[in-house]
Amino acid sequence: MLDYRFIIENLDAVRKNIADRYMKADADAVARLFARRTELSTALQGLQQQRNANAAAMKGKMEAPERAALVEEGKRLKESIAAAEAELGEVEAKLEKEALKIPNMAHPAAPVGKEEKDNLEVKRFGEPTKFDFEPLDHVALGQNLDIIDFDSGTKVSGIKFYYLKNEGVFLELALVRYALDILQKKGFTPFITPDVAREEILEGIGFNPRGAESNVYALEGEGTCLVGTAEITLGGYYSNMILPKEKLPIRMAGISHCFRREAGAAGQFSKGLYRVHQFTKLEMFVCCLPEDSDSFHEELRSIEEEIFSGLEIPFRVVDTCTGDLGAPAYRKWDLEAWMPGRNGGEWGEVTSTSNCTDYQARRLNVKFKDSDGKNKFIHMLNGTAIAISRGIIAVLENFQQSDGSVKIPKALVPYCGFEFIKRSKQ
């Protein structure tokens, strides 16, 4: 959430930012409603002062007619104050509703564009994997090796659900532990977070828990939702709190299941594990001083690069364009791994990291007490250490062998306990 006064004082820039992000929000409505709120607040204060003066006059000695007049004036003021408070409450609610629609300002260097094709590649690790045989995609590999069962997932739970089996189970657990060990060495506190969060926490983080465009599973009648990422539960951990300055930065690593509706996510790029309704993810989250958030953004990106370079998976880093940022993000880096089975070989997003500045902290009311004694909003950042389903895609497709087996990356062998996943004997 942007500061109201910032919106008003930078109205042209806020309008342009909304347009660059291809979002629907009305900065002018915020300016009008803020002005109206100021008028109503001033008028209410005037009425309250009149009420106090009337009450003070009632305490003095006076004739009956004067007292009766003051009593009538007191009744009138009471009614006027009630009406003014009601109108002010309505305007404040409308103001907040409109302000919540306005996205964070984008970093000046973020490429302006509408969709993924407008992202800017800034770095590459390794080269796309080449084979001396016709490579399979992860769907065929998973079925042939008897480690992924999409058909049973569809039968039992519906489309975009799946079962992991046999070595696939150990591969998932290995990816989690491999990444978690890296994070723990870097000072992250590990969490296993709830898979459910209150709607106000989702709204605070910047997710829309309701409506046709929502990607969230809402639990009917509970006022809660299944989380799409541990960013939600980690971000909500310190909601409505004032943190001591000396406690910052706070590094958190959260393991959770992630639930996403993925409405309309059909087609060849979404098949198999790439877009599913449930998966496991290890998420990084940082709370820090405002002046440190840019450097922490680079730190989160470097950790993501370390995780995937350690797995020997080719990837590239892209600077995400304004239209693909998401409302809370000031700047976002995406890490895209090479996926040989994706349309004959394509880059596919496996992680992202966002600097959300104080946008989420304002909505969640998370502050720190500065050296000057004033309470100020912290900055919040998030980053995917590893989304397991997409990590599995990258491992299976890049490490497949000509005999149909899959070689386990060296970094994962100690966690898996085996070096190859071989074809089922059945």
Is 210 noted as a catalytic residue in this protein?
no
Query: Positive or negative CA dihedral for 126, 127, 131, 137?
Result: positive
Is 298 noted as a catalytic residue in this protein?
no
Q: Which residue has the tokens 């989702």?
A: 202
Query: Positive or negative CA dihedral for 300, 306, 311, 314?
Result: positive
Q: How far apart are alpha carbons 23 and 329 in whole angstroms?
A: 13
Q: Print burial letters for 56-95: b (CB count within 10 Å at least 16), e (below 16).
A: eeeeeeeeeeeeeebeebbeebeebbeebeeebeebbebb
Is 301 noted as a catalytic residue in this protein?
no
Q: How far apart are alpha carbons 387 and 29 in whole angstroms?
A: 39
Burial of 356 (0-12, 13-18, 19+ CB in 10 A): buried
Q: Which one of the listed residues 256, 293, 352, 389 is annotated catalytic? A: 352
Q: Which one of the listed residues 21, 251, 260, 342 is annotated catalytic? A: 260
Q: Which one of the listed residues 349, 354, 362, 389 is annotated catalytic? A: 349
Q: Which one of the listed residues 331, 362, 390, 397 is annotated catalytic? A: 390
Q: Which one of the listed residues 73, 261, 275, 312 is annotated catalytic? A: 275
Q: How far apart are alpha carbons 22 and 113 in whole angstroms?
A: 9
Is 260 noted as a catalytic residue in this protein?
yes
Which residues, 6 or more positions from 285, have their beta carbon under 8 angstroms from its beta carbon?
Answer: 230, 231, 234, 235, 251, 252, 253, 254, 380, 381, 382, 383
- Find, among 211, 203, 273, the residue nearest to 232 by Cα: 203
Q: How far apart are alpha carbons 97 and 82 in whole angstroms?
A: 23
Burial of 192 (0-12, 13-18, 19+ CB in 10 A): exposed
Main-chain dihedrals φ then ψ at residue 371, nearest 5 degrees: -65, -25
Query: Positive or negative CA dihedral for 165, 166, 168, 172?
Result: positive
Tokens of 92: 């404040």
Residues involved in catalysis: 260, 275, 349, 352, 390
